[in-house]
């Protein structure tokens, strides 16, 4: 079962160029999974929180392309807050970790690369159920 130690920032290549910088990533080599889906979050009103849940199987990599936010991760025992505000790195979150996104700045654009296609059954949306799920392992 994954713990908070498995949640980590991954730096991406950064091609610095007077014409404008460029970063990129590739499935499997830049991030530790093959991506099957991309989704993005935008137009978040001030004070909103998103993504309070865990996934049974889905791993993900979250990049803040513009703006800033905090991601709070929780493994059933400990909690950690990571601030993201650059487009040349992202946060890897393996499966089995609760996470929520908060403190969005105006016009923040977040892109999430996911290891699975969308499956509502993969979500654990209830915090008590998540703690039971963790303790059962």
- The set of catalytic residues is 53
- Which residue, judged by CB position, is nearest to ligand TYD in the bound state? 50
CB of 15 to ligand TYD, least distance (A): 29
Other C-beta atoms lying within 10 Å of the C-beta of residue 16: 9
User: Using the 8-state DSSP alphabet, how is residue 45 labeled?
Assistant: P
Could you say which of 3, 4, 53, 72 contacts ligand TYD (CB under 6 A)? 53
**What would you report as the CA-atom Rg of the chain, rounded to the nearest whole angstrom?**
15
**Choices 20-28, 49-57, 63-71, 80-88 (CB under 6 A): range interacting with ligand TYD:** 49-57
Binding flag, residue 40, ligand TYD (CB under 6 A): no
* Phi and psi at residue 9, to the nearest 5°: -75, 140
Locus of tokens 């403190």? 103
For ligand TYD, give the closer residue by CB, 11 or 36.
Answer: 36
Sign of the CA dihedral with 132 first, then 52, 28, and 11 last: negative
Judged by CB under 6 A, the number of residues near ligand TYD is 6
């Amino acid at each position: 079962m994954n713990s908070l130690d498995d949640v980590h920032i991954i730096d991406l290549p950064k091609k610095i160029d007077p014409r404008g910088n460029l970063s990129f990533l590739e499935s499997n080599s830049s991030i530790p999974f093959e991506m099957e889906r991309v989704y993005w979050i935008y137009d978040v009103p001030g004070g909103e929180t998103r993504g309070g849940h865990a996934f049974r199987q889905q791993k993900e990599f979250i990049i803040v392309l513009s703006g800033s936010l905090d991601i709070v991760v929780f493994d059933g025992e400990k909690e950690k807050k990571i601030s993201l505000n650059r487009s040349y790195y992202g946060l890897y979150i393996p499966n089995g970790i609760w996470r929520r996104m908060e403190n969005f700045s105006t016009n923040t654009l977040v892109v999430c690369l996911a290891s699975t296609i969308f499956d509502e059954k993969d979500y654990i949306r209830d915090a008590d159920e998540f703690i039971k799920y963790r303790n059962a392992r």
